[in-house]
Amino acid sequence: MDKILVGLKRVVDYNVRVRVKSDGSGVETDGVKMSINPFDEIALEEALRIKEAGGANEVVVVSIGSSEAQQQLRTGLAMGADRALLVTCDEAPDVLTCARLLLEIVNREQPGLVILGKQAIDDDNAQTGQMLAALWGRPQATFASRIEIKGDTATVLREVDVGMETIEVDLPAVITADLRLNEPRYVKLPDIMKAKKKPLEEIAMADLGAGDSPEIVHTAYEPPVARERGVMVEDVSALLAALKDKGLV
Amino acid sequence: MAKILVIAEHDGSILNPSTAKTIACAAGIEGADIDVVVLAADASAVAAEAAQLSSVSRVLTVENAANEHPLAVVLAPQIVSLAGDYSHVFGPSNTFGKDLMPTVAALLGVNQISDIMSTHGSHSFKRPIYAGNVIVSLQAPEDSIVVATVRTASYKAVAGGNSAPVESVSVDVELPTHTRFVGQEAESSDRPDLQTASRVVAGGRALGSAENFDLIYALADKLGAGVGASRAAVDAEYVPNDTQVGQTGKIIAPDLYIAIGISGAIQHLTGIKDAGTIVAINKDEEAPIFEVADIGMVGDLFQIVPELTEALG
């Protein structure tokens, strides 16, 4: 195929313990380390491996967000993507709008395959890939743990609750990456330098015309109800006694 | 009034327990009138099971050979063609519902709500974000259909004893052929299913090898428990992928959860926060798992676990 499109979302880093703002209006992100959503990094790694094996000519990364998302796109370029697109907007759009914007990018770029992370670790929605596939009228293969491409079809091993499922999809298609699809490469310093020269195009969200979607309003944010620390026991007989007390054994 | 369509999850012969939990969420909405739809090649057995669940008004069956395996792109257009009669469409928030419901929502032109953990009226919901570190309250627009997945660990299955009418419906939509089911490898196990087991014994990286996981299996079998694992143990290939508990694995709510050699990363803890009693066994007394454990024991799992298994007689 000619081209693979990969979505990269800028999210609060995996290792940051997020806090709710004191007024409950959102999550504290000032001064917090931001990274590529880990599942998107896996998606990009897979696209790069397909290209390196001769299965594609170009890998294009796309993000939707503020100009700060350039950082994550540059990291994607340093990993090996050829080109980056940033759909710029002030506030993160809702998922349906993101899917519509991605569809506009898909129509423009005509990729043979779109790979996205299965979910973003900030909102934990796990929706964008499925919505894009539905709007595009193309196959979806979510939670992918292995991808094999032969001609115009992809065979995808999916992680499902009962075990592993294999499906076959005609290309172009949308695939969402699960944890065990691959282990993303580390970025090397010379690649970071090279990435600075690679093309990064900004497109204003308004210019893509995604239309309005019925908005779900976030009315409040709060920390979860914490579980309380319980008792510590010294030996197995005390452990058994504690379990018996609760009627559990 | 809320008219709610619940999408049944099944394997062609048995209704998945996630459906009764999804119905429980729907039934918590005042004045809810709940229909369940079974999309299958042959829906009879599953529909008969669904008809017994309390709070269900009607069970609809949509039979089509193409529905033999639950492919989202095949099921979604059929659900969309039924959705016009409903104010809400709910599915479970597991790999079945997460795959399917965004597709349904996109075809209906609405956003989707993931992982409802509580309802506050017909259009207000709470759900976890950031691996459960933050709970967000949502207000869905009243003038469009609500498409959502339900965090099944937050709900107890509705009881049986009902006998709702079963009605066959036909939908006239073109189904795509660009996506084909090839096969499924179920992890064969006689142990209780992780997601519905009332007791779960889980192991972490501290087990050190796949062979050492036999300690976990022995304890689990003594307790009649399901077996779970941390991401680290799965990544180290001690156990299959489908045992992973946490943000990106399974979200479970057993009465008893025994975490063995699991440090308790936040991504793991989000998968067990609704467990009745959490027991932690770990050699590191500073392990975060002890902050949420009801009963904790510091020590060497290779001594404690065999001793515990033995003591349970």
Question: Each residue of B254-279: pLDDT tens digit?
Answer: 999 999 999 999 999 999 998 999 99
Domain residue limits, chain B: 3-168, 199-311
Please tell me the predicted confidence (pLDDT) of residue A176: 98
| Cβ–Cβ under 8 Å, residues B53 and B19 | yes
- Asked if the model's pLDDT at residue A15 lies above 80, the reply is yes
Please tell me the predicted confidence (pLDDT) of residue A228: 86
Across the interface, do B187 and A214 touch by the CB < 8 Å criterion? no
- Asked if the model's pLDDT at residue B199 lies above 80, the reply is yes
Please tell me the predicted confidence (pLDDT) of residue B281: 98
The interface predicted TM-score of the complex, written ipTM, equals 0.95
Decide if A244 is inside a domain. Answer: no
Please tell me the predicted confidence (pLDDT) of residue A210: 79
Across the interface, do B135 and A221 touch by the CB < 8 Å criterion? yes
- Asked if the model's pLDDT at residue A156 lies above 70, the reply is yes
Decide if A109 is inside a domain. Answer: yes
Please tell me the predicted confidence (pLDDT) of residue A209: 83
CATH number at residue A110: 3.40.50.620
Please tell me the predicted confidence (pLDDT) of residue B45: 98
Domain total for chain A?
A: 1
Please tell me the predicted confidence (pLDDT) of residue B189: 73
Which residues from chain B sit within 8 angstroms of residue A158, using beta carbons?
95
Across the interface, do B312 and A240 touch by the CB < 8 Å criterion? yes
Of the candidates B133, B179, B195, which has its C-beta nearest A139's C-beta? Answer: B179
Decide if A198 is inside a domain. Answer: yes
Which A positions 73-112 lie with beta carbon below 8 A of chain B? 94-96, 99
- The whole-number average pLDDT for the span A222-249 is 92
Topology (CATH) of B3-168 = Rossmann fold (3.40.50)
Please tell me the predicted confidence (pLDDT) of residue A215: 86
Across the interface, do B133 and A223 touch by the CB < 8 Å criterion? yes
Which A positions 14-73 lie with beta carbon below 8 A of chain B? 17-18, 20, 27, 39
pLDDT averaged over every residue in chain B: 96
Please tell me the predicted confidence (pLDDT) of residue B196: 86
Q: Does A169 touch chain B (CB under 8 A)?
A: yes
Which residues from chain A sit within 8 angstroms of residue B304, using beta carbons?
236, 239
Decide if A246 is inside a domain. Answer: no
Nearest chain B residue to A25, by CA: B136
Please tell me the predicted confidence (pLDDT) of residue A226: 84
Q: Which domain holds residue A97?
A: 3-216
Please tell me the predicted confidence (pLDDT) of residue B31: 93
Going by pLDDT thresholds of 50, 70 and 90, the confidence category of residue B187 is low
Question: Each residue of B271-312: pLDDT tens digit?
Answer: 999 899 999 999 999 999 999 999 999 999 999 999 999 999
Which residues from chain B sit within 8 angstroms of residue A169, using beta carbons?
178-180
Nearest chain A residue to B138, by CA: A218
User: What value, to the nearest 5°, has the Cα angle with vertex B292 and ends B288 and B297?
Assistant: 75
Q: Do domains B3-168 and B199-311 have the same CATH topology?
A: yes
Please tell me the predicted confidence (pLDDT) of residue A169: 98
Question: Each residue of B118-127: pLDDT tens digit?
Answer: 999 999 999 9
Q: Compute and round to an integer the Cα radius of gyration of chain B.
A: 21
- Asked if the model's pLDDT at residue B79 lies above 80, the reply is yes
Topology (CATH) of B199-311 = Rossmann fold (3.40.50)
Q: Does B105 touch chain A (CB under 8 A)?
A: yes
Which A positions 187-206 lie with beta carbon below 8 A of chain B? none
Which residues from chain A sit within 8 angstroms of residue B180, using beta carbons?
167-169
Question: Each residue of B93-111: pLDDT tens digit?
Answer: 999 999 999 999 999 999 9
Q: How far apart are CA A118 and CA A128, in angstroms?
A: 8
Q: Does A220 touch chain B (CB under 8 A)?
A: yes
Decide if A165 is inside a domain. Answer: yes
Decide if A82 is inside a domain. Answer: yes
- Asked if the model's pLDDT at residue B32 lies above 70, the reply is yes
Decide if A221 is inside a domain. Answer: no
Which residues from chain A sit within 8 angstroms of residue B12, using beta carbons?
none
